[in-house]
A and B are shown apart, each in its own frame.
Chain A
Amino acid sequence: MAPVTTGIAGTGSAFMATLKRDLLIASKRKNDMLNPFMFFLIVASLFPIAVTREPQQLTDISAGVLWIAALLASLLAMDSLYRSDFEDGSLALLLLCPQPLYFMVLAKNLSHWLVSGLPVVLVSPLIAYMLKLPAESYLPLFLSLLVGTPVLSLLGSIGVALTVGLGSRGLILAVITLPMTVPVLIFGTLAVQEPRFGADLAGYLAILGAQLLAAIALAPLASAAALRISVN
């Protein structure tokens, strides 16, 4: 007799399949990729207009402006993480998979970050130049965003999973998610600002990295539980 287990994919291949599927869907919807990027660009350019044109003052606020713009871009992009899957029913199918939901959620988060978070990180030094961030802060900014924005995605995922079934969810998602992002914002901006005054960048990156690891370990569990609550 053939082994009964044939047909059930291992967790690793299910992870890769989910990742591939989401990346494929994203590649068919170029706008979803472009919008967070555009949002980041536009919000960051609004600050000089609203606050100041003085290069010195821009230098003072630029680290915070870049981080908040990245935070808002990540938040606004979050809504698309589960919505279309919820609407066409594939989310319900995902919940029925025999593989652990933790890894599925992680795969979805990863692909979402690759599509909406990474472009923002990559373009950040350019916007930093426009906002007169000192040149020696480009690398700290890039690295802190690289480590910090995945945490934002993982935290946002919990909020999206909790609110995916609601009719109007834009603001409630922000109200739930934004207070939780405070630790990332604190150490992200410190990592950009403080090395200029002689502090060690590695320490701040280590704290951000610790947050990332904690988020990878715990946030998908919360997201998975939230999805099971929202979809039934």
Chain B
Amino acid sequence: MNWTWFHQLGSPKSFYALTSQWLPWLVTVMVISMTAALVWALLYIPPDYQQGYTTRILVIHVAVAGTSLAFFPLMAVAGTITLVWRIKLADMVARNAATLGAWFSFVTLATGSLWGSVMWGTWWEWTDARLVSMLFQFFLLLAVIALRSAMDDNDKAAKACALLSIVGCINVVIIKYSVEWWNVLHQPNSPVGMSNSGANGPEFWLPTLLMVVAVYLFLTVSLILSTRNEILHRERKAQWVRELLAAS
């Protein structure tokens, strides 16, 4: 098997060049799908017979929540690449993924609370397993960021955060199931069953699907842009970066 592409993608310079070609396309598709999904979701979804217009919050919430689950696996894979192949690019991606993941988790919690404040009459509910496990995913992502900022040595921080990401990835899964069992064992039920109450037809799940695609594209574009920034910063003494900056 030919692994040249892997090493090529792993070099910051060729990653930068490659993403320069991809970015215009990605951004275009992202902007179109995001605009379409937002307009569709926020203006055209018919009011639910029980929940009224609040289902429109859910379109964003579901998409962001689903996407935020991708961050720990992403960071664990990047961390493995950092530890095994010592590819610097993987760490740059992991570093920005942690920050982005924390934001995604925060937006998930915020939109969920907004929806809950209307539908459940409370901003926070400990009896819902998803809220609690999302909260602890948020905490674990903040822990990875905190560890990174506590370490001065870039190389050491990369490896330490890689390891913590792998441990955290396993842990998030254990926490998720523990919190679910906890609710089953300890509490009768959520005050209001949330599952499926909004997703009752194509007029709801089609814009949600589009929104999921748009949010994943948004994640990809943000990750690429912030990684490119990081490349320029870390490689600022390299010849090609200087030439690039002189040319622009």
Name A's B-contacting residues (CB within 8 A).
158, 162-163, 165-166, 168-169, 172, 175-176, 178-180, 182-183, 186-187, 190, 193-194, 199, 207, 211, 218, 222, 225-226, 229-230, 232
Contact = CB atoms under 8 A, between A and B. Distances in A.
Interface of B: 83, 136, 139-140, 142-143, 146-147, 150-151, 156, 159-160, 163-164, 166-168, 170-171, 174-175, 178-179, 181-182, 185-186
Contacts of A168: 150
B78 to A, nearest CB: 16
Contacts of A230: 156, 160
B182 A179 contact: no
Contact of B175 (A166, A169, A172, A183): A183
B171 A162 contact: no
Contacts of B178: 182-183, 186-187
Nearest to A187: B178
A182 B136 contact: yes
B151 A180 contact: no
A190 B140 contact: no
Contact of A179 (B83, B140, B163): B140
Contact of A176 (B83, B143, B166, B179): B143
Nearest to B175: A182
Contacts of B163: 162, 222, 225-226, 229
Contacts of A194: 185-186
Given A175-B142, A175-B143, A162 B179 contact: no
Contact of A162 (B136, B140, B164): B164
Contacts of B83: 225
B224 to A, nearest CB: 28
10 contacts: A163-B147, A176-B164, A179-B139, A182-B179, A186-B182, A187-B182, A190-B185, A194-B185, A222-B163, A232-B156
A172 B156 contact: no
Given A183-B175, A186-B179, A229-B163, 12 more contacts: A162-B147, A168-B150, A172-B147, A175-B146, A176-B164, A179-B175, A180-B140, A190-B182, A199-B185, A211-B174, A222-B163, A229-B156
Given A166-B151, A172-B146, A226 B182 contact: no
User: Lowest 10 CB-CB distances: which A-B pairs, in order?
Assistant: A183-B178, A179-B139, A229-B159, A186-B182, A176-B143, A172-B150, A179-B140, A186-B178, A175-B143, A180-B171
A163 to B, nearest CB: 7
B217 to A, nearest CB: 30
A102 to B, nearest CB: 15
Nearest to A185: B178
